[in-house]
Amino acid sequence: MALKFHNTLTRSLVPFTPLTAGKVHLYTCGPTVYNRVHIGNLRTFVWEDVLCRALRYLGFETVQVMNLTDIDDKTIRGAIQEGITLKEFTARHVETFFEDLATLNVSPAAHYPRATDHIPEMVEIVKKLTERGHTYESDGSIWFRIASFPSYGKLARVDLSSMQRGARVADDEYEKEDVRDFAVWKGWKEGEPESATWTTELGKGRPGWHLECSAMSMKYLGETLDIHTGAVDNIFPHHENEIAQSEGATGKEFVRYWLHAEHLIVDGEKMAKSKGNFFTVPDLLSRGHSPRAIRYLFLSVPYRQKLNFTFESLAAAASAVARLESLDLRLGERARSTGASAIEDGVEAKISSFQNEFREGLEDDLNTAAALGALFSFVREANADLESGQLSPAGAAAFQRALRGADSVLGVLPKAEAGLLDSEIQAKIDLRQAARKRRDFAAADAIRDELAALGITLEDTPAGVRWRRKS
Ligand SMILES: [Zn+2]
């Protein structure tokens, strides 16, 4: 089987091939930095991380860009309320966002562009749209004229007929020709702070929210992206408007594969502060839950299904993580013990059948439930082999490599050993030398492999063993 994704654009499962062979350019809509993100937002961000990790596991290189929306109605309102500048206000929320990503072991994207650093790029897009007849000015703002873009609506397939075309309606304080038209540039309004206002060729004002993503995605990834993701509530109007702006400006296809994650609900209900079922990561940590269990729970449900968050499911996730961790520790111990130097019959076959099934799960539109099913069959087999007492150190090391390989996608095993102290590394090297002296090459090799898995390479020189950390 080859990699397939459910493309929102076609509402079908389609084979995936990137524009550039072996390299995937993807844009993942980031947070609006006006509050602490909640676990619903983080479900999407963890899924996007697993998507990137899975692509790398499957042999692709990835270039991920995630924007930070640091200028919009909400951030301006927050800055005004607190009597500080927009930048001061958003800086706090940027910080806690990155804190939450690190807590949940989300690998960093290649770029985290901020909207306020890309005003000139946005102005350029508006100018192109104007040249191509897609905009008009009204009341100091610049609007995208939906009627000028016939394929508008192709992503969302929403029923636009309920919105009456051509009716001149007031939206907020703005006048627009058509209720569906949206602002690409918002003219300055009385009361908007200096720190949230730019004076550009388009006049005094600020960019529309949708424009930010068109400008930043195309700047870092080119005019046609392989994958664009977000939560289902981004489909309309946000992503529909991104298509209109980007394709309207370039005349080229903007995104080849649109992927959208379903929502997280709590105890079967929509999360809301008023219902007392609204959680952030610090809320869960303060109740004693582990970040790795939270991450596991998020990724255990395939992204196109609603995730029902309950404390029972979080406890089940914690015990699943504990099983993986315990196997990893026991395999590590066995790998370091003395014994036969060759991997015994059957071990390789078990590993390759597991890896095939795990990969097929990922290739099936990132079916993480299927991939985890394969993983836990493998866990049962490896545990049975360990308990039989027959598993060789080399076999245990091979099992552990396979487990850690799968975890390069999941990211739920502890990274403690990656932080080995120099003295601990030296102690392991001494153990390896001792094993070599007694001609136990399997044990020596297992130690070398273990260090290699932690990014530490050994070099045997006439002056002894040298080691270095891979950067
Ligand atoms: Zn976006």
**Cα-based distances in Å from 20 to 9, 24, 25, 61, 222:** 21, 7, 9, 10, 12
367-397 pLDDT, tens digit per residue, is 999 999 999 999 999 999 999 988 999 999 9
State the distance from the centre of ligand 1 to the C-alpha of 241, rounded, in angstroms.
10
Structural domain includes residue 367: no
CA 445 centroid distance within chain: 35
Contact status, residue 13 vs residue 71, Cβ threshold 8 Å: no
Residue 396 lies in a domain: no
CA of 128 to the centre of ligand 1 (A): 20
Q: What does pTM read for this prediction?
A: 0.87
The residue length of the chain stands at 471
pLDDT of residue 1: 64
Cα(234) to ligand 1 centroid in Å equals 7
The token pair at 98 is 């990155």
Q: How far is the CA of 170 from the centre of ligand 1 (A)?
A: 25
Q: Is residue 246 a part of any domain in this protein?
A: yes
Neighbours of 57 (CB within 10 A): 19
Run of H or E including 169: strand 169-171
Q: Say how many Å lie between the CA of residue 251 and the centre of ligand 1.
A: 20
Name the 3-class secondary structure at 111. Answer: strand
Nearest to 299 by CA among 279, 281, 321: 321
Q: Select from 261, 292, 316 the last residue of a domain.
A: 261
Domain count, the chain: 2
Which has the closest alpha carbon to 123: 178, 223, 67, 203?
203
- The tokens for 191 are 């009361």
Q: For residue 27, which of 212, 214, 222, 229 has the smallest C-alpha distance?
A: 229
| Beta-bridge partner residues of 308 | 265
User: Distance from the CA of 2 to the center of ligand 1, in angstroms?
Assistant: 29
Radius of gyration, alpha carbons of the chain: 26
Which domain-ending residue is among 226, 261, 296? 261
Which residue, 261, 292, 325, sits at the end of a domain?
A: 261
- Per-residue pLDDT of 187-197, as tens digits, reads 999 999 999 99
* Residue-number span of the structural domain to which 69 is assigned: 4-159+185-261
Phi, psi (deg, nearest 5) at residue 343: -70, 125
**Residues linked to residue 14 through DSSP beta bridges, in sequence order:** 5
Could you tell me if 455 and 470 are in contact, meaning their C-beta atoms sit under 8 angstroms apart? Answer: yes
CA distance linking residue 181 with residue 168, whole number of Å: 10
Q: What residues of the chain score a pLDDT lower than 50?
A: 166-173, 418
Give pLDDT tens digits for 57-106: 999 999 999 999 999 999 999 999 999 999 999 999 999 999 999 999 99
Per residue in 409-439, pLDDT (tens digit) is 999 998 755 456 677 788 788 888 888 888 8
Instruction: Enumerate the β-bridge partners of residue 15.
Output: 4
Distance from residue 27's CA to the centre of ligand 1 (Å): 8
Is 224 part of a structural domain of the chain?
Answer: yes
Instruction: Say which residue the tokens 């004693």 belong to.
Output: 288
The CATH number for 12's domain is 3.40.50.620
User: How far apart are the CA of 33 and the centre of ligand 1, in A?
Assistant: 13
Give the DSSP H/E element, type plus range, for residue 255. Answer: strand 255-261
| Cα–ligand 1 centroid distance for 429 (angstroms) | 49
Ligand 1 centroid to Cα of residue 60, in Å, is: 24
Report CA(213)–ligand 1 centroid distance (Å).
5
Residue 204 tokens read as 């005094």
